[in-house]
A and B are shown apart, each in its own frame.
Chain A
């Protein structure tokens, strides 16, 4: 018997003669839609905070985990990005394909970074990306690798990550984000809540270990749309 057959047979034998609860078919059902399971969920699945209050909550929770947070109106986004890069003193910045950026300040060179080897990424001063979804309650940004977000390595190796989050990408709760990402789940996803951190020494939280040590987020308000 192969290990596979043996383990599966043991699992079946372990419950032989029992009538297990559940239908065993949940894995086969569609990702969304009229789902009996969904009606049993007793926890919050619909956001309770909206509009400007939602963006305020996101800003507060991001800052709580030591991300640097900026707010911008759509018309001011370009200026805000330039100001952030100048403050950082960044000269070579990774810009993923598909990200529309305004003119960068003098002396800042955009680099098409996808496909670069890790050592080459390490030589960059930072990366600018968009996002797929942001969760206000937990202060989390999710990248799914679609245009404007870069590959996983590009947002990992450079020490500075500037992330642009637009109002329509912000949800209140984790279940809302999981629902938005359904179907995109086969892309590689990275959920980011603040800069890298560790609590391994006496459970003291220290920000900045292997991932980018500075996470700066520009939250772009809805602009009245």
Chain B
């Protein structure tokens, strides 16, 4: 079969890139002491919780292996599993829609909501609807989207932006949340304290009448089972159950990579996800539904399957494993870069290590060129990933792609790329390497406490975002020669 008529690759659109490159945005975040304090506390707490519940399972590694294998199988035969999913959802009374990009998905959802006549929808927290900028599209059609997850509500009322996959308001502390509620929540008790229980109660009261009168619910999906047509949403607060159960119409948007082959696969993912995400043995609520059930829940169900750059990522044999991600956010919580900069610096709804490999693949590397460098390649993300995505290797692969793309367009590549290219030139011949090493020994005078904080141009760009270790007085090769004489 040939695909001569194939249009150019889909470039993901929506909230996948920031206005500023990562180093610029990160510098602003690093200057915010409150933000760093909030993030440090939160990530430390969640890391400890995750480690405790993962250690409880004697078969955690086997579950990770199985998770990886199942995802690889799903992605290897994505077309046939999506067709099976469509058939089974349709058989059970649902309607399946396909969307090439963010704009098309928003158009489908807006059209479906408009057809019901509803002017307000309740939403379960969903990254994919953030990705496609659905709330903005609904607002343009005079439809109010009410975020019902507590953290998403904090973000929405604070006219803010999510900064974490799982805990979108992780950058806010209780005092800040109290201020936002007092300022923005109509009918809120003016005596509201900043106790987390009191803040949660305020959100409960604010949302309750909206849940009880909602006519349309909008959700994402954690998993979709091809074999049965079952959709699955994992949550904690019960806002998900409210949105999935009470409205007459339910619209679910999911990326095409979320499909799992069989029902049995859930036995793996319902162990991997909660322990990796919130550090719980099981999250409080998991809802599963298949099409429409007479007399129980929404009687109209629409499933929107979204590409938005995923098929482009799929074409990259190294990069495609990023599509295995189950959005647990464990990689964010262990990442030394994320812990210091927070999620906003990444500019995409997908921050942290997984975002640094996913966002550039969805948008095309040229639109997100700085993200693959937003990492020290320490490998902590790979170690905690429940489906064993080798994030460091994809980062290196994408850096290579970026250098290639820049070379093809004859545009000056980034300082990192120049430095890498210079290193490669110097290291490919022993005489060049020796000369470069001797030259760097001179730089030792610049070292303060074993670190070089500012290198001279053109290497200055490298040390703008990082220290360089002070070179030793003797290179290894010089030391070897002094100790053992010239190599044969």
Contacts and interface: CB of A to CB of B under 8 A. Distances in A.
A21 interface: yes
A194 B284 contact: yes
B295 A151 contact: yes
A190 B76 contact: no
Interface in A96-139: 114-115, 118-119, 122, 135, 137-139
Contacts of B315: 13-15
Contacts of A186: 92, 228-230, 290-291
Interface in A188-225: 188-204, 206, 208-212
Nearest to A35: B264
A27 interface: yes
B77 interface: yes
A210 B331 CA distance: 29
A109 to B, nearest CB: 22
Given A3-B99, A22-B76, A194-B284, A209 B239 contact: yes
B280 A209 contact: no
Contacts of B284: 65, 192-197, 211
Contacts of A190: 241, 285-288
B314 A211 contact: no
Contacts of A177: 267
A4 B98 contact: yes
A79 interface: no
Interface stretch (A38-46, A70-78, A85-93, A162-170): A38-46
Contact of B167 (A11, A41, A119, A199): A199
B167 A13 contact: no
Contacts of B213: 118-119
Interface string A47-72: 00000000000000100110000000
Given A21-B72, A153-B245, A27 B261 contact: yes
A22 to B, nearest CB: 4
Interface residues of B, number: 111
A178 B266 contact: yes
B111 interface: no
B228 A206 contact: no
Interface stretch (B182-190, B202-210, B388-396): B202-210
Q: How many of chain A's residues touch chain B, expressed as a range?
A: 35 or more
A20 B72 CA distance: 9
B81 A7 contact: no
B150 A209 contact: yes
Interface of A: 1-4, 6-16, 18, 20-22, 24, 26-29, 31, 35, 37-38, 40-45, 61, 64-65, 114-115, 118-119, 122, 135, 137-140, 145, 151-153, 156-157, 174-175, 177-179, 182, 185-204, 206, 208-212
* Complex A-B, nearest 9 residue pairs according to Cβ-Cβ distance, in ascending order: A211-B238, A42-B62, A210-B238, A20-B76, A10-B311, A24-B77, A191-B286, A196-B238, A14-B315
Interface of B: 1, 3, 5-7, 9-10, 38, 41-42, 45-46, 49, 58-59, 62-63, 65-66, 69, 72-73, 76-84, 92, 97-100, 104, 148-151, 154, 167, 169-170, 173-174, 177, 196-197, 199-201, 203-204, 207-208, 211-213, 225-230, 236-239, 241-242, 244-246, 256, 261-264, 266-268, 270-271, 274, 278, 280-291, 293, 295-297, 305, 307, 311-312, 314-315, 317, 320
